Amino acid sequence: MSDGLVWLGTPAFPQAARKALTDTQLRRNLRKATGTIRDKRLRVSAELDDWEQLRDSAAALKLRTLRHLDRYLEQLEASVTAAGGTVHWAADAAEANRIVVELVKATGGPDGGTREVVKVKSMATQEIGLNEALAAEGIAAYETDLAELIVQLADDRPSHILVPAIHRNRAEIREIFRTRMADVPAELTDEPRALAEAARLHLREKFLRAKVAISGANFAVAETGTVLVVESEGNGRMCLTLPETLITVMGVEKVVPSFADLEVFLQLLPRSATGERMNPYTSAWTGVHEGDGPSTFHLVLLDNGRTATLADQVGRQALGCIRCSACLNVCPVYERVGGHAYGSVYPGPIGAILTPQLAGVGRGSEDGADSLPFASTLCGACYDACPVKINIPEVLVHLRAKVVDAKRGRTVPTMESLVMRAATQVLAAPGRLSMAQKAGALGGRLVGRGGRIGPLPGPFHAWSDTRDLPVPPAESFRAWWQRTHPEETGR
């Protein structure tokens, strides 16, 4: 594991996607799940007359916050501290993991430290590989979100931001429960109610026993020090209230300036995420209160590539993401290849712009990060769906340029780059273009059959094998125009 993002090191996106495309069950599962969420999102967002204004407000709020991020983070630290919490700053994954492990070890237990924690679903802790870091120290981390539990029991990886087990259907989940859960009833069916009940029974005792809970955060309010988690199952509420110690790991970009700002985000997030008007559970806490919830609260503020991303004026938009996953559900690429092909905890369009930036864009393609900005058709559906109006296609194109620039001079020129270089020379001079057009027309007539050019020899065959190439016309448009409009061309 690196000091930064976990997972990267898988094949680059094209190879991983090619493999995923052979899995027809995966495609069926994804099509059904994303289609259902997509339709619900469209229905409930259309109910609000001011939906577009809300999106504009969210985009403006995020941009303003990012512009003054240092100020808001210092304000947040002061507010949390004043409310009885403790704030820790982590520059990267290794530091964040070290802080959390030490905090867990320092909490209760007969041998001076607890050996298990319950967890609320959190992208930040997945990003840093916290479960693996805890396991290395002999501490068991129990995921309590149903989908995360499925992924954990199956030794699998999440494939969607919001529905991590979206690639699994009910029959597969029943099988995972039957083979991996010790306390599962023998007659377990694949009815959602039965599966949820099995998970509930499996988790209840862990909720009651755990001394430490670890969460992420959807938002943290600078002015009050209030931290928020929104979720659908109530497992979060249990984790956030029952244990003695609560540790929250949060990316620094999750801060919002004031409590009033939540009005905008709490309307946009549930509608964009699950197609619900409001979240079943929105938990907010401000420091600690005697006799009410955890008696100790730690907030770990995680950088892990975020300040480097912030320095990029175009790329920084990615830090405005509220992790709703609407962009995944509308993406034609994601719908066909699923989340694992992106090799990151952040899949889909947002992953294609966030992962390379957090990992360091242009470092080389050995870990797959540089291939992600190319994992898109640039159709723009993600931009239309994004509740905070992140211009994902713009960032994709920007990152592609950075990857190409970084590669230049580092690698042996490819056939494509040589052809592009030659094309630049030809297109730069009208005389050269005219000669090239004449040569192309002559060559096309020599090798063409029935108005088409078949497979080309040598290195060109990779291009011509999959394309229908028409024979160039005997006369170019420019030559025809000069011949038929001599008075306008001055000839």
**Which residues of the shown chain bind ligand SF4 in the complex (CB under 6 A)?**
272, 321-327, 350, 385-388, 390
Shortest distance, position 334 Cβ to ligand SF4, whole Å = 10
* Nearest in space to 147 (alpha carbons), one of 192, 85, 105, 186: 192
Shortest distance, position 96 Cβ to ligand SF4, whole Å = 21
CA 74, 77, 81, 85: dihedral to nearest 10 degrees?
Answer: 180
Q: Are 223 and 256 in contact (CB under 8 A)?
A: no
d(CA 38, CA 168): 18
Q: Based on CB atoms, which residue is closest to ligand SF4, 88 or 323?
A: 323
Measure Cα distances from 183 to 116, 118, 201, 361 in Å: 19, 18, 8, 46
Residue with tokens 């029935």: 450
Q: Based on CB atoms, which residue is closest to ligand SF4, 236 or 387?
A: 387
Which neighbouring-strand residues pair with 285?
227
Q: Based on CB atoms, which residue is closest to ligand SF4, 272 or 371?
A: 272
Q: Based on CB atoms, which residue is closest to ligand SF4, 55 or 174?
A: 55
Q: Are 160 and 341 in contact (CB under 8 A)?
A: no
Shortest distance, position 326 Cβ to ligand SF4, whole Å = 4
Q: Based on CB atoms, which residue is closest to ligand SF4, 245 or 272?
A: 272
Shortest distance, position 480 Cβ to ligand SF4, whole Å = 48
Q: Are 69 and 252 in contact (CB under 8 A)?
A: yes
* Nearest in space to 315 (alpha carbons), one of 48, 66, 83, 6: 66
Q: Based on CB atoms, which residue is closest to ligand SF4, 121 or 174?
A: 121
Shortest distance, position 36 Cβ to ligand SF4, whole Å = 17
Amino acid at 240: L
| Residue 479 CB contacts under 8 Å (≥ 6 apart), including other chains | 434, 437
Shortest distance, position 265 Cβ to ligand SF4, whole Å = 10
Shortest distance, position 239 Cβ to ligand SF4, whole Å = 23
Q: Based on CB atoms, which residue is closest to ligand SF4, 247 or 327?
A: 327
Q: Based on CB atoms, which residue is closest to ligand SF4, 348 or 368?
A: 348
Parallel, antiparallel or unpaired: strands 226-231 and 281-286: antiparallel
Shortest distance, position 383 Cβ to ligand SF4, whole Å = 9
Tokens coding 131: 């479960």
Shortest distance, position 254 Cβ to ligand SF4, whole Å = 12
Please name the residue ranges forming H helices in 86-225.
93-105, 123-128, 130-136, 146-153, 170-180, 192-209
Q: Are 358 and 251 in contact (CB under 8 A)?
A: no
Q: Based on CB atoms, which residue is closest to ligand SF4, 225 or 393?
A: 393
Parallel, antiparallel or unpaired: strands 296-302 and 86-90: parallel
Shortest distance, position 262 Cβ to ligand SF4, whole Å = 15
Compute the C-alpha angle 252/323/144, nearest 5°.
95
Show the 3-state SS of 383-420.
Answer: HHHCCCCCCHHHHHHHHHHHHHHHHCCCCCCCHHHHHH
d(CA 79, CA 303): 19
* Nearest in space to 284 (alpha carbons), one of 235, 222, 221, 234: 221
d(CA 361, CA 381): 24
Q: Based on CB atoms, which residue is closest to ligand SF4, 332 or 413?
A: 332
Shortest distance, position 385 Cβ to ligand SF4, whole Å = 5
DSSP string, 43-69: HHHTT-TTHHHHHHHHHHHHHHHHHTH
d(CA 165, CA 152): 10
Shortest distance, position 56 Cβ to ligand SF4, whole Å = 14
Q: Based on CB atoms, which residue is closest to ligand SF4, 230 or 327?
A: 327
Shortest distance, position 55 Cβ to ligand SF4, whole Å = 10
Q: Torsions phi, psi of 4, nearest 5? A: -105, -115
Q: Based on CB atoms, which residue is closest to ligand SF4, 225 or 320?
A: 320
Q: Based on CB atoms, which residue is closest to ligand SF4, 387 or 444?
A: 387
Tokens coding 88: 């820790």
